[in-house]
Amino acid sequence: MALRRTKIVATLGPSSSSPERISALIAAGLDVARLNFSHGNADDHRQRAELVRRLAAEQGRFVALMGDLQGPKIRIARFADKQVELQAGQRFTLSNSHPNDAGNDSVVGIDYPELVHDCRPGDELLLDDGRVVLQVDEVTDDAVHTTVTVGGPLSNNKGINRRGGGLSAPSLTDKDRADIKVAAELQLDYVAVSFPRYGQDIEEARALLREAGSDAWIIAKIERAEAVVDDEALDSLIRVSDGVMVARGDLGVEVGDAELVGIQKRIIQHARTLNKLVITATQMMESMISSPLPTRAEVSDVANAVLDYTDAVMLSAESASGRYPVEAVQAMARVCLGAEKHPTSTRSHHRLGETFSRCDDTIALSAMYAANHFPGVKAIISLTESGRTPLIMSRIRSGVPIYCFTPHTSTQHRAALFRGVYTIPFDAAALDPAEVSDAAIDELKKRRLIKADDWVILTKGDLTRDSGGTNGMKILKVA
């Protein structure tokens, strides 16, 4: 059976917390389990993380764990009757002084006092992911007075966005700082930072993680308009992160639906060019919250992200609270495999004509060039400490599987998010140097991944245990 190159991230929640359900998700193709810190408590996340680790090991699979920080939630407060119906043309006020549980169809409290400083007359505010749109008429010391331009039902605690971005809430909240400590305690492989505006937001999160004893990689969620206003802003966030998430919910609200597809493609392209991971997320199979099959539009959406060469596609409510979490993972895996059959998924022009600044990058990209131009190559073996070499390799479009041979648990799990990369536990330092190549090939033969007369490319460093030290490549024929 063909190996699926695009990885699947699925969010765990009420529908996917039992051992039976998590085991089924792993069997269906789960590669990264997302723990959403916007919901649940530390004990919930701890229990799910322990189950994923244990059940993945029982199946011989490596599943990464990602904690997703809540970030600043700019929301309205609550209504006396839980919900109101707003009509286009009516006046509606967002107030800092109105009681938080006494909203009505003319005024509601807000949990973000700075809104009065961030808004100007003429601004558009989008509530509940853009389902309700307000035009700002006037801003006073304690309230934003608006006219409803798109009406509809509005219920408690719905989010507020400003068209074009510009809300000044800091990226990391006190809750996020506490959750970073939980992420470190649970030894999560990835931490996703919500609503970052600048590189310093990511650097602060990284410093807090390291202080807490975690070496987790950081994913920057691209969901503010400011982050995509130009290439300089986007690249500055990508460079300081280990990867990015195309978080299409809030991003789509702020930039508008018409711009979203082009921006998604630009984010994926820039992340790969800068040798970083990229996850495409939000509403990818939304109808499967209540349906056992995706729509054709959802199939196309997932397939297009695969063809753009995203590392991973992500499920949110579909797997966390939907009726068909396992079927959603199965459907996503099926669509990914189908899209990967398209010829463009194995043709690469990445970095042709560029010069390289690192020895290990040069070896990694040379290996991929050889693999894509020597038809007998059936596998690439990367003996690695940190996982950087297979990560760089995986930026190149190719149909040749990349095997991450590493003795380190953190690297074994981390590589589960790399497109086209598969983990094999292997400790080269425990072997005589003359035996390493044959032993590595034997590992693939044991798993029936290669056979006699196949060619294999192997990359390694002269010094094992030396991160960043990959300096050699061999092309070997399987005996």
Active site residues: 34, 75, 221, 282
What one-character DSSP code corresponds to residue 289?
G
Contact 194, 70 (CB under 8 A): yes
220 touches 196 (CB < 8 A): yes
Provide long-range contacts, Cβ within 8 A and 24+ apart, for 39-43: 39/13, 39/320, 40/13, 42/182
Helix H segments across 59-140?
115-118
Distance in angstroms (rounded) separating the CA atoms of residues 258 and 44: 38
Spatial separation of the C-alpha atoms in residues 238 and 248, rounded to whole Å: 16
Q: Pick the closest to residue 9 from 277, 341, 203 (CA basis).
A: 277
Q: Give the Cα separation of 78 and 111 in Å (integer).
A: 10
d(CA 148, CA 117): 20
- Distance of alpha carbon 328 from alpha carbon 302, whole angstroms: 12
Describe the crossing of helices 174-185 and 42-58 by its angle, rounded to 10 degrees: 30
Instruction: Round to the nearest angstrom and report the end-to-end CA distance of the chain.
Output: 23
Helices and strands counted in the chain (H then E): 15, 21
- From the list 32, 33, 22, 8, the residue with the least C-alpha distance to 58 is 22
How many other C-beta atoms lie within 10 A of the C-beta of residue 329?
A: 27
Cα–Cα distance for residue pair 468/415, rounded to 1 Å: 16
Residue type at 214? S
* Range 423-432 contact pairs with CB under 8 angstroms and sequence separation of 24 or more: 423/62, 426/383, 428/383, 428/460, 428/464, 429/464, 429/465
Q: What does the CA dihedral 24, 25, 29, 30 come to, rounded to 10 degrees? A: -150
Question: Parallel, antiparallel, or unpaired: how do β-strands 421-425 and 470-477 relate?
Answer: unpaired
